[in-house]
């Protein structure tokens, strides 16, 4: 079935076309743009969901191997920025910084985002323990701007399960990054079109 605008564009509809005012045309255009924007946002949310789903098994394995010889500091991050309505897919490496607790010590957090907790390490004498502050920070793994993937060397010196599972997860995250970038490009073009229309309407 033909849309209203295609019907009115037919040669026999000349008189009906003249009955359509410019305000009606403008409102129809802006309404379509609003709908496309909503669809773009929905697609972003779907990509976010898929990214979380893709990393679920890896994250669960991280929990199971914590404090074991197969523990890893490399983990995938899927983030949704509520303020901007954008999504990102990347990897971070956790770094531990241990600070001695002394009455006169001033503890400064290392650079980077993270949190801290109190823990114990072996003391200088047998059976002794020292209370320390452990500061956890994280560092992003560089993403190649052209390939949209992280270096394969990021998985070097990692436990076997990380090298295998990480490669699988990264392949899927790389695909999601490319899809997200394509969506962002579409969103920018749509924004440009929206601004052109609004500027024309204001100046008419």
Average pLDDT, the chain: 88
Domain with 78 in it: 17-92+142-203
- What tokens appear for 34 in the block? 């609003």
User: What is the value of pTM for the model shown?
Assistant: 0.81
List, for residues 70-92, the tens digit of each pLDDT value: 999 999 999 999 999 999 999 99
Q: Looking at the 3D structure of the chain, how many domains does it have?
A: 1
Asked, for residue 126, whether it belongs to a domain, the answer is no
Asked, for residue 131, whether it belongs to a domain, the answer is no
List, for residues 18-28, the tens digit of each pLDDT value: 999 999 999 99
Is pLDDT at 96 greater than 70 in this prediction?
yes
List, for residues 168-188, the tens digit of each pLDDT value: 999 999 999 999 999 999 999
Task: Check: CB of residue 73 under 8 Å from CB of residue 119.
Answer: no
Asked, for residue 59, whether it belongs to a domain, the answer is yes
List, for residues 28-47, the tens digit of each pLDDT value: 999 999 999 999 999 999 99
Asked, for residue 68, whether it belongs to a domain, the answer is yes
Write the DSSP symbol of residue 174.
H
Asked, for residue 127, whether it belongs to a domain, the answer is no
């Amino acid at each position: 079935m033909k849309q209203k605008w295609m019907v009115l564009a037919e040669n026999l509809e000349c008189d009906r076309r003249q009955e359509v005012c410019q305000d009606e045309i403008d409102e129809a255009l802006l309404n379509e743009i609003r709908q496309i924007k909503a669809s773009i946002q929905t697609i972003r949310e779907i990509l976010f969901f898929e990214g979380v789903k893709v990393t679920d098994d890896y994250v669960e394995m991280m929990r199971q191997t914590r404090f074991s010889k197969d523990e890893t500091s490399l983990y995938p991050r899927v983030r949704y920025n509520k303020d901007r309505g954008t999504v990102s897919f990347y990897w971070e490496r956790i770094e531990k910084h241990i600070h001695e607790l002394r009455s006169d010590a001033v503890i400064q957090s290392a650079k980077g985002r993270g949190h801290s907790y109190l823990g114990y390490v072996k003391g200088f004498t047998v059976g002794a323990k020292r209370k320390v502050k452990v500061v956890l920070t994280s560092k992003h793994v560089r993403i190649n701007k052209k390939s949209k993937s992280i270096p394969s060397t990021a998985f070097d010196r990692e436990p076997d399960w990380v090298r295998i599972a990480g490669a699988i997860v990264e392949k899927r995250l790389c695909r999601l990054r490319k899809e997200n970038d394509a969506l962002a490009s579409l969103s920018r073009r749509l924004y440009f079109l929206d601004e052109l229309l609004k500027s024309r309407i204001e100046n008419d």
